[in-house]
Chains A and B, each alone.
Chain A
Amino acid sequence: MALIALPRAPGSGGVLWAFIERQTNLWKRYWAWELVWLVYGAVNTLAVTFIAKQVDAAGIGSVEDVNALVLFLLIGTLVWAYLSAVLDDISMVVQWERWEGTIEHTLMAPVRRAVHLAGMCVFGVLHAIIRTSLIFLIALPFFSVDLSQADWGAAVAVLLIGSFPVAGLAILAGVLPLLYPERGQQMSMMIQAFVLLVSGVYYQVEVLPSWLIPFSVISPATYMLDGIRGAIIEGESIAAVGPELAALAAFGVILIPGSMLVFDMAERWAKKTGRLKRQG
């Protein structure tokens, strides 16, 4: 039974755009930090990929081996730049608002949390694509890599499908500052570091100690890296990267609703214990 004529509910599209627009405005206002992260990302990509040049200079491998290693490391660092940007942007959903002091005003808006989180995820992915593309353009002239065999369609498909489970992981990481206002952000950064360790960013996961291998199996980033490397280095088609796409889709189906549910539960707990306050 309607008790009072409710104001027109904000449409999901409008609310989604509100969060994208707000994050874009913040991005512009913090442009100096964006520049810092861009330079850091580009330098990190160059520094890691130059290891392959060192292998060449040391005469350890053939020309083909060295070229393959250059591409392997280049793709690894670029994909990690993308993943870390997505993880950072989304996992800061709570912590950023705490720093700014807006958390109470944002969370008391008549907005479904799923739409709020979706807005943050869309911005995170778009932001990461722009930053990673710029790093790629900066790094490319430093290395003579042959990309003629790359199947870009398959690579983009893996990137986009893989973004869903990564967004789910980021939402789970974003829950930690809700639960632990003081230490939550540090904990979510540790999760990010662990994903870096076990996912084969700079090496094949087979080189990991056996007890770490199971973690690489349950990390969506492992399949993302495998799929993108397969598409770009081996020229694998969408059909050929099908197993990676299927694994990423399965992770997405589990992690997106699962992480939303966990966020909802954590928000309820925070409301029960009074942890939504600005300070943290």
Chain B
Amino acid sequence: MSEHQQTPLRVERVTKSFGGRGMRLPAPFARNNGHRRRGRMVVDHVSFEVQRGEIFGVIGANGSGKSTLIRMISTLLLPDEGSVRVFGYDAVTRATEVRALINRVSADPSFFRNMSAYENLLFFGRVYGLTRADVRRRTPVILQKLGLEWSRALEPMSNLSRGQQQKIAVARSFLTSPVLMLLDEPTTGLDPRSKRDVQTFIREVQREHDATILLTTHDMDEAELLCDRISFLSGGRIVALGTPYELRAQVAGNRPVESIDMEDVFMALTGRSVEEDEEEEGEAALVGG
């Protein structure tokens, strides 16, 4: 097996736009490397690789293209150009194989609200090939690690708080033991304690189970705490990529690297703060960001 095929995630020049026809015009009329798209470019020629056992962070404001990128890796969106490969399997042509290898946590927990947490986990476990006994055995263990009592899993999801629902969402994804986990802003909107519980669990899973994790967030502290490498996404493009130390060193100049925080790095490399990006690109989030 080649090194390329062992790479958990390889994203090559992936592009996605919404709202246009994506027409390819003849050279005299073409812009942007021979392409002219009338829609809004949400992900713009993004490339990166995630290595086995790594937590790879994608930082960007709302609307910067993080969720669109995650959806393309999840096989829920087809790229206009480029390719996404999970352990060598193409996310478009070998989608079923890719789906068997991944799972995802999104910012919105997304459950059947009137079913209990356990009924939800049972269904999502079964469609990944788990038996009822598997789900019944694994669920209490995962919930305990997330600081949630088993008895809460028997209540309808609508009775649970936002933080508890998100913990169930994390449990749903790790229940199926994916080799590549996609965490799309998993701690957004959580109270500090729930946020810490989820972050601790992610670290523990990565350490004990050699899981590979792609984490998107606009929380700089979270990215620095969890990620081995970080990429900054702004306007659909990756503008910087490296370890937290490398990124800080990149903008430190004459200052000590330790005195630089990731917010400084983001502003220096993108020319704006996350908050500014959120305001200007909020509209794109409605389209598909």
On A, residues with C-beta under 8 Å from B are 3-4, 6-11, 14-15, 17-18, 21-22, 25-26, 29-30, 100-102, 104-112, 268, 271-274, 276-278
Given A3-B89, A8-B129, A9-B100: A100 touches B123 (CB 8 Å cut-off) = no
Contact residues, B1-42 vs A (CB, 8 A): 1, 5-6, 18
Q: Within the complex, what minimum Cβ distance (angstroms) separates A41 from chain B?
A: 22
Q: Is B113 an interface residue (CB 8 A)?
A: yes
9-residue interface stretch from B114-122, B234-242, B255-263, B273-281: B114-122
Q: Within the complex, what minimum Cβ distance (angstroms) separates A28 from chain B?
A: 9
B108 touching A9, Cβ below 8 Å:
no
B88 touching A3, Cβ below 8 Å:
yes
Across-interface contacts of A110 in B (CB, < 8 A): 96-97, 99-100, 127-129
- Compute how far the CA of A15 lies from the CA of B126 in the bound complex, rounded to whole angstroms: 6
Interface centre among A104, A108, A273 (most CB of B within 10 A): A108
B126 touching A10, Cβ below 8 Å:
yes
Question: What 0/1 readout, one digit per residue, does chain B (71-112) give for beta carbons within 8 Å of chain A?
Answer: 100111110000000011100000011011110101010111
A3 touching B87, Cβ below 8 Å:
yes
Q: Within the complex, what minimum Cβ distance (angstroms) separates B170 from chain A?
A: 13
Q: Is B288 an interface residue (CB 8 A)?
A: yes
Q: Within the complex, what minimum Cβ distance (angstroms) separates B147 from chain A?
A: 23
- Compute how far the CA of A274 lies from the CA of B106 in the bound complex, rounded to whole angstroms: 16
B129 touching A271, Cβ below 8 Å:
no
- In the complex, which residue of chain B has the Cβ closest to the Cβ of A24? B119
Query: Which one of A3, A21, A106, A273 lies within 8 Å of B5 (CB-CB)?
Result: A3
B111 touching A21, Cβ below 8 Å:
no
Query: Which one of B108, B113, B123, B129 lies within 8 Å of A22 (CB-CB)?
Result: B123
Across-interface contacts of A7 in B (CB, < 8 A): 100-101, 128-129, 176-177
- Compute how far the CA of A276 lies from the CA of B115 in the bound complex, rounded to whole angstroms: 22
Given A109-B99, A109-B128: A102 touches B78 (CB 8 Å cut-off) = no
- Compute how far the CA of A21 lies from the CA of B126 in the bound complex, rounded to whole angstroms: 10
Q: Is B179 an interface residue (CB 8 A)?
A: yes
A278 touching B110, Cβ below 8 Å:
yes
Query: Which one of A8, A25, A276 lies within 8 Å of B77 (CB-CB)?
Result: A276
Q: Is B124 an interface residue (CB 8 A)?
A: yes
Q: Within the complex, what minimum Cβ distance (angstroms) separates A97 from chain B?
A: 9
B112 touching A26, Cβ below 8 Å:
yes
Q: Within the complex, what minimum Cβ distance (angstroms) separates B288 from chain A?
A: 5
A271 touching B78, Cβ below 8 Å:
yes
Across-interface contacts of A107 in B (CB, < 8 A): 76
Across-interface contacts of B114 in A (CB, < 8 A): 26, 29-30
Q: Is B156 an interface residue (CB 8 A)?
A: yes
Given A7-B177, A9-B100: A104 touches B110 (CB 8 Å cut-off) = yes
Across-interface contacts of B287 in A (CB, < 8 A): 274
New A-B pairs, 13, CB < 8 Å, besides A11-B129, A26-B114, A274-B288: A3-B1, A9-B129, A14-B126, A14-B129, A14-B131, A15-B126, A102-B112, A104-B71, A106-B127, A110-B97, A274-B18, A276-B77, A278-B110
